Amino acid sequence: MLLNEAVYNLKRSAIREFSALARKTPGCIALTLGEPDFDTPEPIREQAGKSLENHETHYIENNGSPDLRVKIAEFETQRHGFACDQSQVIVTAGATEALFVSLFGVLNPGDEVIIPMPAFVLYEEIVKLCRAKTVPLDISQSGFQIDGDRLRSLITEKTKAIVLNSPNNPTGTILSEESLRAIHDAVKGRDIFVICDDVYRELVYTDSYHSFTEFDDIRDQTILVQSFSKPYAMTGWRMGYMIAPPDVKERLELIHQFIVVSTPAPFQKAAIRALDYDNVVLKESYRKRRAYVLDRLDRMGLSYPEPLGAFYVFPCIRDLGLDSATFCRRMISEAGLAATPGACFGSEGYIRITYCYSDSQLKEGLDRLESFVSKLRSANGLS
């Protein structure tokens, strides 16, 4: 026990564990990772190549190049109405670092963080490292939306932050205007930060999407986290950003400085190019795959919360007689298909299927899912 005792309570990512198990299983198809099957678009790659040719390989400012920060502020202000200044921007090593910096910066040991569940496992693990406490808000019983009364019942004098992820990983659902208003009314004027993990915002399949960042009267409590990974197929670049109130950002940038110094110099102009790139081809591909997957699940008789964004769907398996981890392990060994158990996102009785894979992989994977589900129903006398 020579290490920081907080590290002994950390859990390994079940997404990675089931992906690894799939790799060890010959012929297994994995629909586990949120990894776009597209390469980073050529204009973005070309810009990175030009930066290398121009010897842009030296230290840059800790918070990112001035040009990129200005571009990010303009992008958020003009495209999404989140009025901000480049001085509020920190360019981070993906959304992961932005989330760590945000939570580490606002939490003291013993503080509480409300996390609507199901949720990406990363949030809870960062809270553990901060020696704070996760307070789960189960939204699976309220249509995957926020119940204002339930939220208020969880707020205590120790509540320091709420983490929102909309579109959501693992469900693909988006928070309604009513849910966002409930959160706003519950935290406005309190010493509570709302950390908006909006990394799937550019992958939305409805015109009714709204972000919590649209509330102008609560900007001093709002921290926005964004990533280049998903909308521009840049997962391996590890580029993201965060935008925080000026006095908060002034402290958070020091954490960022001492963790990574800065993001890679050759990627600064490429990130600027990404914000100018129209990702309509990628988005429409995901939209078509989404329609195919939902049609197949409907025909299997598997229900799911409607995924209006991202590239995940969260079908319910409660009537099939297995917990989600057992279901996923057996599906790998018996059907050659890997998905991620809902339990790892805090919601038992579901599995997460990722549809950012090729059409052929999705067809074969869903054929295998259909066969496995039929087998379980027959074994349980449900067919």
Kindly state whether residues 126 and 170 are assigned to the same domain: yes
Residues 106 and 226 in one domain: yes
Same-domain check for residues 12 and 79? no
pTM for the full predicted model: 0.95
User: Is 201 within the bounds of a domain?
Assistant: yes
Note whether 62 and 262 are within 8 A (CB).
yes
| 69, 17: one domain | no
89 and 196 in a single domain? The answer is yes
Please tell me whether residues 66 and 195 are part of one structural domain.
yes
Gap between the Cα atoms of 321 and 123, Å rounded: 29
Report pLDDT for 301: 96
Question: Is 47 inside a domain boundary?
Answer: no
pLDDT given for residue 35 in this prediction:
87
| Beta bridge pairs of residue 242 | 90, 225
- Is residue 223 within 8 A of residue 243, CB to CB? The reply is yes
Tokens of 71: 């571009």
State whether 79 and 19 are in the same domain: no
d(CA 123, CA 13): 12
Judged against a pLDDT cut of 90, whether residue 41 lies above it is answered with: yes
pLDDT at residue 14, rounded to an integer: 83
In-domain check, residue 48: no
Q: Looking at the domain assignment, is residue 298 inside a domain? A: yes
Question: What φ, ψ does residue 119 adopt, rounded to 5°?
Answer: -150, 160
User: Tokens for 16?
Assistant: 């990675």
Task: For residue 168, give both structure tokens.
Answer: 């959501």
Q: Which domain holds residue 171?
A: 58-276
Tokens of 308: 């209006």
* Residue 76 clears pLDDT 80, i.e. is over it: yes
Assigned token pair, 301: 């008789």
Last residue of a domain, one of 247, 276, 305: 276
Identify the sign of the CA torsion 297, 299, 305, 307.
Answer: positive
Together in a domain, 112 and 36: no
Question: What pLDDT is attached to residue 11?
Answer: 86
- CATH code (residue 313): 3.90.1150.10
Is 197 in the same domain as 314?
Answer: no
Q: What's the total number of domains in the chain? A: 2
The pLDDT-based confidence of 383 (bands split at 50, 70, 90) is low
Cα 317 to the center of its chain, rounded Å: 23
CA distance 306 to 92: 31
pLDDT for 379 equals 86
Which residues, in sequence order, are bridge partners of residue 90?
242
Q: What angle do CA 163, 168, 173 make, to 5 degrees?
A: 130
| Mean pLDDT of the residues in the chain | 96
Q: Would you call the peptide bond into 118 cis, given omega within 30 degrees of 0 as the criterion?
A: yes
Instruction: Give the C-alpha separation, 351 to 325, whole Å.
Output: 9
Verify that 12 and 85 share a domain, yes or no: no
Q: Give residues with Cβ within 8 angstroms of 197, minimum separation 6.
A: 95, 99, 120, 123, 163, 164, 165, 225
pLDDT digits (tens, 9 = 90+) for 118-134: 999 999 999 999 999 99
Domain final residue, candidates 228, 252, 276: 276
Residue 273's pLDDT band (boundaries 50, 70, 90)?
very high
236 and 363 in a single domain? The answer is: no
Alpha-carbon distance 112 to 99, whole Å? 16
Query: Does 374 map to a domain?
Result: yes
Helix, coil or strand: residue 274 = helix
Asked, for residue 50, whether it belongs to a domain, the answer is: no
Q: Residue 11: what are its φ and ψ, rounded to 5°? A: -110, 145
Residues 182/154, Cβ–Cβ less than 8 Å: no
Decide which of 276, 304, 335 is a domain's last residue.
Answer: 276
User: Does residue 199 or residue 208 have the better pLDDT?
Assistant: 199
140 located within any domain = yes
Determine the Cα–Cα distance for residues 324 and 303; give it in Å rounded to an integer: 15
Average pLDDT over residues 269-297: 97
Domain at 133, CATH number: 3.40.640.10
Please tell me whether residues 240 and 174 are part of one structural domain: yes
In a domain, 317, yes or no: yes
Can you read off the two tokens belonging to residue 374? 């039929």
Mean per-residue pLDDT, 53-67: 97
pLDDT mean over 45-72? 98
